[in-house]
Chains A and B, each alone.
Chain A
Amino acid sequence: MGSERAEEPIHIVYSDEENVLDEEERNSRLFEDLEPASWINDEDTDVTTFFHRVDSDQIIYEAKKKRCKMIGKYVMGDLLGEGSYGKVKEVLDSETLCRKAVKILKKRKLRRIPNGEQNVQREIVLLKKLQHPNVIGLLDVLVNDEKEKMYLVMEFCVGGLQDMLESTPKKRFPLWQAHGYFCQLMDGLQYLHSQRIIHKDIKPGNLLLTLSGILKISDLGVAEALDFFAEDDTCYTGQGSPAFQPPEIANGHEKFLGFKVDIWSSGVTLYNITTGLYPFEGDNIFRLFENIGKGEYVIPDEIENPLRDLLHGMLQKDANDRFTLQQIRQHPWFLRKPPQTLEEVPIPPLRGDELHNMTVLPYLMDYHYVEDPASGQPQYYTEHERNAWAERGEQDTYPTECYPREWADQLGDLKSKESSPKKFQDDVGYGNSNKYHGDDEMETIADSTKRKTKRRPTSCISVKKFPPCKQS
């Protein structure tokens, strides 16, 4: 450990529980647990040769540049979200000037997910032939073999039902709002079923919304297309989200009726968005499946009859007794729009922007109005300031103020003195670490043996600066 340490003049201690720690970090955490006062003032101990105490206003970050980047005809914007398969960013189609979203898939990441590559291929094949207002549209697929990346250009959505639920105190929608989403879900599902597709992973997290409030069923990663001449909808595999699985899957039946699986998970979804609860819970997946397998659940008293009856119909333990799509569509609760009494739950703001403005614009501004990006004065801010923004709830906003020149000079000095080998990736970051908005261009030059999962903002001081990557 000693020799490694010595190369690093300053080490900054972070405490972010969510991150996977590498060895270095784990070691530093050992020291963090000590009471600082007991050793930090003791000049004679060896420890202080490794660790200097750094005040939060001494740690400097460089504000990230909005450097314009294009993938095919699409201008990249900010991050919209992150899933297990990769990032989703906003893009602008430079030919039609329409907002789109792009799902960036890295082959490296996919390989580590069971069936990852297969699922993506399947999703692409399925999505390509589907066209319905309530099913997410796949518009374009771009592949960069060199970087082992795949870009799926999709319709632009501003958020999902799951994020909306989480933004409310009771984690549920007013009935009229839930009704609107549910009707759209049933329309989309009817279409999928008419195309012989069983989604198998219906849940609020997979239901997205456009700016105009149109619901889009997304994520067909585990969906199954029935054979064209299949007599019925028998399926043999299910790999959706556990809490939304029906008893026949929880009980491990060898085969089951596919369409009824989607009915069940739509039932759990409806239960969830109207009550804020789940019909079945369990400390672990075995308990959960045990509970689902029994098929016993309670609907809260506040849910009144037409809805209560519909939920019971959709959450029938025996798939043969469970409602069909037609029965749901004829159900009194489906037919009647509940009165609009409570206020609508809005789509939560993205990085403080309630209006969900187009995020591609700053990149275009940079491209068109900054003549020579190299001469542009970089912006710096300190850990102290970053914390202050975080307290004010602006942790995800970009700093716009300019910082004193000294910072830049000081930083330049530090950099020129630094001579350690290129050991760290150029992660000039900001924001809190689990919402990292890095430029994925940087990734390719990063030492890929380490730290591929979530990355934290890294101070300029301890980091060797790399020249920014050129666009492909």
Chain B
Amino acid sequence: MPLFGKSQKSPAEVVKALKEAVSALERGDKKAEKAQEDVSKNLLLMKNMLYGTSDAEPQTDIMVAQLAQELYNSNLLLLLIQNLNRIDFEGKKDVAQVFNNILRRQIGTRSPTVEYICTKPEILFTLMRGYEQQEIALNCGTMLRECARYEALAKIMLYSEDFFNFFRYVEVSTFDIASDAFSTFKELLTRHKMLCAEFLELNYDKVFSHYQRLLNSENYVTRRQSLKLLGELLLDRHNFTVMTRYISNPDNLKLMMNMLKEKSRNIQFEAFHVFKVFVANPNKPKPILEILLRNQDKLVEFLTRFHTDRSEDEQFNDEKAYLIKQIKELKPLPDH
């Protein structure tokens, strides 16, 4: 035993001590201050086991495996996340670092922590609800995006009721939280192409009725970001079915035509990239065709004067010329 400093605690001891401290913090009794101190201390110990320090290497694989096993058995990860708002500033960051490290752990092709979280989806739901609390929102965000890298976990999140709360989170008034939520939201909808395409197809109505609200948001940033993401989603070939469905709905076309006229040039530009798909569609449904025909002359005139200063963007100009030509050549469907 070394003379100075404490002896090395075993993973089991650290987990046990941390669990007791967090529980004490949760109870909020008189010893809260002491508990806070213990939580910070043990979190730091745990973090150093996984990452090492400037003068100590990370622990051996066996120790890390023991620590992971103890974490699963004690259900400490959930407890930490549930009480994240009670832990001090540095401690919150340590929780996120420990969580992300343990999550990335692999044994062969298996990711034991991913498997563990699959059996405890409550962890994910708690993390997602973290966006409701300002002081822990960003910490939860880093953990959520790490989780979203794994298809199994992304699937649980996408298909949960809590996912639809994101449509609210991306609009909150605190800018950094809203944009953090948006990047998690985007990650979930774009990372795993097949999973996302399937999710969007199965939940088309619900997702796009919610999405409509983002596009009509009062908040400029929300409107612009969500419109850009919509463009990306529709133009991705994996979402072919969703795209064809989206462009056959006349309400969507009307919305895009209105967005083409928005005050912000950036929104106009993003709207153009969605609008072009409606026009280029070789099999336009009747209602879509009717709207375009009704506005034929106005659209041609509008597009001719649309963003004429983007002269160096060849692709845009080609597309614009193509759209103008298409709209000019539109003919009504023969009556039956």
Given contacts A125-B315, A128-B315, A229-B281, are A190 and B193 in contact (CB under 8 A)? yes
Q: Check B315 against A129 for contact (C-beta < 8 Å).
A: yes
Q: How far is the CA of A214 from the CA of B12 in the complex (A)?
A: 40
* A337 neighbours in B (Cβ, 8 Å): 106
Distance (whole angstroms) from the CB of A193 to the closest CB of chain B: 7
B109 at the interface (CB under 8 A from A): yes
B280 at the interface (CB under 8 A from A): yes
Distance (whole angstroms) from the CB of B321 to the closest CB of chain A: 15
Given contacts A125-B315, A128-B315, A194-B238, are A228 and B106 in contact (CB under 8 A)? no
Tell me the residues in window 205-242 of chain B with beta carbons closer than 8 Å to chain A beta carbons.
235-238
Q: How far is the CA of A207 from the CA of B153 in the complex (A)?
A: 32
Q: Check B109 against A332 for contact (C-beta < 8 Å).
A: yes
**Interface size band for A:** 10 to 19
Q: Check A229 against B108 for contact (C-beta < 8 Å).
A: no
Q: Check A194 against B193 for contact (C-beta < 8 Å).
A: yes
A168 at the interface (CB under 8 A from B): no
Distance (whole angstroms) from the CB of B43 to the closest CB of chain A: 28
Tell me the residues in window 265-288 of chain B with beta carbons closer than 8 Å to chain A beta carbons.
277, 280-283
Instruction: Specify which of B193, B237, B281, B314 is in contact with A196 (CB 8 Å cutoff).
Output: B237
Q: Check B315 against A326 for contact (C-beta < 8 Å).
A: no
B79 at the interface (CB under 8 A from A): no
Q: Check B109 against A336 for contact (C-beta < 8 Å).
A: yes
Count of B interface residues, CB-CB < 8 Å? 18
* A332 neighbours in B (Cβ, 8 Å): 109
* A194 neighbours in B (Cβ, 8 Å): 193, 236-238
A335 at the interface (CB under 8 A from B): yes
Given contacts A193-B237, A194-B238, A336-B108, are A229 and B193 in contact (CB under 8 A)? no
Closest to A337 in B: B106
* A190 neighbours in B (Cβ, 8 Å): 193
* B109 neighbours in A (Cβ, 8 Å): 306, 332, 335-336
* A335 neighbours in B (Cβ, 8 Å): 109
Q: Check A195 against B237 for contact (C-beta < 8 Å).
A: yes
Tell me the residues in window 293-338 of chain A with beta carbons closer than 8 Å to chain B beta carbons.
306, 326, 330, 332, 335-337
* B238 neighbours in A (Cβ, 8 Å): 194
A208-231 toward B: CB 8 Å interface, digit per residue (1/0)? 000000000000000000101100
Q: Check A228 against B277 for contact (C-beta < 8 Å).
A: yes
Closest to A227 in B: B282
Closest to A141 in B: B314
Q: How far is the CA of A228 from the CA of B279 in the complex (A)?
A: 12
Distance (whole angstroms) from the CB of B196 to the closest CB of chain A: 11
B79-117 toward A: CB 8 Å interface, digit per residue (1/0)? 000000000000000000000000000101100000000
B330 at the interface (CB under 8 A from A): no
* B314 neighbours in A (Cβ, 8 Å): 128
Distance (whole angstroms) from the CB of A375 to the closest CB of chain B: 43
B194 at the interface (CB under 8 A from A): yes
Distance (whole angstroms) from the CB of B270 to the closest CB of chain A: 15
Interface hub of A195, A226, A228, A332 (most chain B Cβ within 10 A): A228
* B244 neighbours in A (Cβ, 8 Å): 229
* A326 neighbours in B (Cβ, 8 Å): 193-194
Distance (whole angstroms) from the CB of B39 to the closest CB of chain A: 34
* A195 neighbours in B (Cβ, 8 Å): 235-237
Q: Check B282 against A229 for contact (C-beta < 8 Å).
A: yes
Q: How far is the CA of A125 from the CA of B318 in the complex (A)?
A: 11
Distance (whole angstroms) from the CB of B81 to the closest CB of chain A: 26
Distance (whole angstroms) from the CB of A451 to the closest CB of chain B: 37
Q: How far is the CA of A157 from the CA of B277 in the complex (A)?
A: 36
Distance (whole angstroms) from the CB of A341 to the closest CB of chain B: 16
Closest to A333 in B: B109
Q: Check B280 against A228 for contact (C-beta < 8 Å).
A: yes
Tell me the residues in window 147-177 of chain B with beta carbons closer than 8 Å to chain A beta carbons.
151
* A125 neighbours in B (Cβ, 8 Å): 315
Closest to B195 in A: A326
Q: How far is the CA of A190 from the CA of B236 in the complex (A)?
A: 11
Distance (whole angstroms) from the CB of A338 to the closest CB of chain B: 11
Closest to B111 in A: A335
Given contacts A190-B193, A326-B194, A332-B109, are A229 and B280 in contact (CB under 8 A)? yes
Q: Beyond A194-B237, A194-B238, A195-B235, list 8 extra A-B contacts (CB 8 Å).
A: A194-B193, A196-B237, A228-B280, A306-B109, A326-B193, A326-B194, A336-B108, A337-B106
30 contacts between A and B (CB under 8 A): A125-B315, A128-B314, A128-B315, A129-B315, A190-B193, A193-B237, A194-B193, A194-B238, A195-B235, A195-B236, A195-B237, A196-B237, A226-B237, A228-B277, A228-B280, A229-B244, A229-B280, A229-B281, A229-B282, A229-B283, A306-B109, A326-B193, A326-B194, A330-B151, A332-B109, A335-B109, A336-B106, A336-B108, A336-B109, A337-B106
